[in-house]
Amino acid sequence: MSPSGASDHAVHLIQLAAAAADAKNGTDFVALDVTGPLPLTDAFLLITGRNERNVLAIVDEIEDKLAEAGTKALRREGRSEGRWVLLDFGDIVVHVFHEDDRMYYSLERLWRDCPVIPITLPVRQGE
């Protein structure tokens, strides 16, 4: 187990998903350990996309990178609208929001009592 209640595998998936989202210009990454209130998953990863196309590009990249690592989405919701897409990978649930919807739903506020899982993003070339 990691220092949080989330499994090491869940933390690893969070890092992979965050790196994939970062590669498609996702922003405002927040990972939360939800093992306390939710026994069905270890962590949430919240990501913001600038517009519907960006949200869908982020979702596609996350699904591709996690599939390469041997983890496929068990369920996905919201893909047709591109405003708030939920990807359930079992150990983690990824929420990719359009920036307006991220502010409106404010999941960070709803889950504010959950510990934050640190995210380390890869350094991009030229930065």
Please report the domains of the chain, with CATH numbers, ordered by start residue: 8-110 (3.30.460.10)
The 10s digit of each residue's pLDDT in 77-120 is 999 999 999 999 999 999 999 999 999 999 999 999 999 999 99
Answer whether residue 124 shows pLDDT above 80: no
The 10s digit of each residue's pLDDT in 93-103 is 999 999 999 99
Distances (CA, A) of 74 to 25, 63, 94: 24, 11, 12
Determine the Cα–Cα distance for residues 18 and 62; give it in Å rounded to an integer.
8
The 10s digit of each residue's pLDDT in 3-22 is 458 999 999 999 999 999 99
Confidence of residue 58 (pLDDT cuts 50, 70, 90): very high
Cβ neighbours of residue 42 closer than 8 Å, sequence gap 6 or more: 5, 6, 7, 10, 33, 34, 35, 91, 92
Q: Which amino acid is at 87?
A: L
The pLDDT, as a whole number, for residue 1 is 43
Cβ neighbours of residue 25 closer than 8 Å, sequence gap 6 or more: 49, 50, 54, 58
Element (H, E) at 36: none
pTM, two decimals, is 0.92
